[in-house]
Chain A
Amino acid sequence: MAGFVLRRSLQALLVLWVMSFVIYGLIGLMPGDPLDVMIASNPGATPEVVAHLRAIYGLDQPMPVRYWHWLLDALHGDFGFSRTHSEPVLTVLAPALAQTCKLMLISFGLSVVLAFGLGVAAARKPGGWVDGFVSLFAFAGISVPVFWLALILIIVFAVQLHWLPASGMGTVGDNGFIDQLRHLTLPVLTLTLASTGQFTRYVRAAMIETMRMDFIRTARAKGLGEGRLVLRHALRNALIPVVTIMALSFGTLFSGALVTETMFAQWGMGKMIYDAILANDYNLALVGLLFATLVTLLSNLAADLAYGWLDPRISLK
């Protein structure tokens, strides 16, 4: 087990290194450079000033040289300076990461709990009215565009009912637990509704397949109670494909909640990465994307470890 984790960690480091080069190169291929955004519509930016700024920012160097300098600094813990926030990259990253963690962990946890409940309920009697209702809910969640769902929730709960704030992360001068919870409610609800549908479909499909297996029939013939049968035997076996999907989704959630973050003015990782790419903020975009890659790798590692726990026949060598 320890050897497996060590080997996978080393592989993750290699992937991160390769990804850093690929991302750096891809960002460099995009039109314009960081200074274009900075000097746009700036009457003071004469050609001489621009040339000097390019030298200051190291943009007069070829891309591989710039990457090499970045890598050396990164190995010393200096991930560079964010041009669009005028702060070191890690200083910008920390609050965005904290906000994303709050948003993602709550909505991911809620989605998983809801998906298991609904998926199992639907799988117990495929084609029944419960299954029909759950499928309708799941497909609605999958099909409804997130920005539209967010807007509807804002209009209903903030504009019409005045129950919850429409956006932001806290009230100035308050920022207590309840205040933060109130600001998190609508974005969490949006993300939860959007991701529960997909998870529910996977849980349902895996459970239906498992419930048809011989060992379930045997357990039922032996007189095992339905609740115990589902929870102890069927669900555990159905979890393996579901865990894979959830692990992949977890990584995506870290960088992919852009729409929800934008709609609710939650300054998290998705929005940070998106803004950094648009504004040609090389360092911030690079570190943000690398962090999202790292989360995906780690969640996959966690999924692999979970396989061994869920099915002891799977050996982690």
Chain B
Amino acid sequence: MSDETPHPAAAPTFSSREAAALPRRSATISVLVENESGVLARVIGLFAGRGYNIDSLTVASVDAGGSRSRINIVTSGSDMVIEQIKAQLTRLVPVYRIAELSQEGPHLARELAMVKVISDGANRAEALRLAEAFRARVIDATVESFVFELTGGTQKLDSFIELLRPIGLAEVSRTGVAAIARGTRMLSSKH
């Protein structure tokens, strides 16, 4: 077909079982759902019940009336498993649309961390220098502690936290990944 829009009944094909089963990869999937009672439990239950991984999960309502929520899931598995995850999610009654952002084109993925450091002396100064290098903001300070706020990709947050570990890292709170496609592509209604 010359038309780029796939037929609604199109299903993915694999060259072989071996190709489908290997290797494992990471996938960022966004799911637009009806904001009804139990919908998050339904999505999480699907992952738990079928033995899929959840590396990160975020959820919030995304329209003015609060009737639709967007769930962003970072998961991993073989191509075959990830296609299964997408098919199983699509099958849920309150799901409007899903998109695998990591496959369908360039996308942005960000998370936010709040990181508490308790230290003194040189370590305290070093923590501040690192925060500056990572463009983390100080959102709380006492004589013994800082709370930094840092936004960015998962790896950036991971490395910031690792660097703070020997100099007084005390506590971390992270949001998990929010993701969106670059350009004009949208996760709107599937119809």
> Real complex partners, A and B?
no
Binding site for A on B (CB under 8 A): none
A residues at B contact (CB < 8 Å): none
